[in-house]
Homo-oligomer: A and B are copies of this chain.
Amino acid sequence: MNGLHLTADLYDCGNSALLLDQPALAALCEAEVARVGLSAVSHCWHAFPASPAGPGGITGVVLLAESHLAIHTWPERAGVTLDVYVCNFGADNSLRAERLLQALLAAFAPRRQQCQRLQRGTQPEPGGA
């Protein structure tokens, strides 16, 4: 169950058209998942309707054999939140996770970003919480 979970919250994305384009987002994610050597097993996407604040964002997940990739876009702020979570069942997938995140950062081209890194499933001893 141990694995690496990377989060990235992106602001002022240069490629703002991508934040509104569900087919392009889905194609980008599927292509980059495959390119780094991870395995997609399912996916789901949802496009939010426009509101007085602006066009609606897109939210989606690619389920991986290794865990998941999640994306939520915020077009009114040219923002995106990303999660790349991979378990290390059978192999250490940490480098693949890093490469996937870097590829997505390059595609969105944010001017600012906030990244966090979690180690998951590190087996606390009985009695730990």
Contact = CB atoms under 8 A, between A and B. Distances in A.
A44 B42 CA distance: 7
A77 B93 CA distance: 20
Contacts of A116: 118, 120
Contacts of A124: 11, 112-114
DSSP class of A's interface residues: helix, strand, loop or mixed? strand
Interface stretch (A23-31, A79-87, A95-103): A79-87
A74 to B, nearest CB: 5
A124 B112 CA distance: 7
A46 B61 CA distance: 12
A90 to B, nearest CB: 10
Nearest to A71: B68
A68 B59 CA distance: 9
Given A5-B7, A112-B125, 7 more contacts: A7-B120, A68-B70, A111-B126, A112-B124, A112-B128, A112-B129, A113-B129
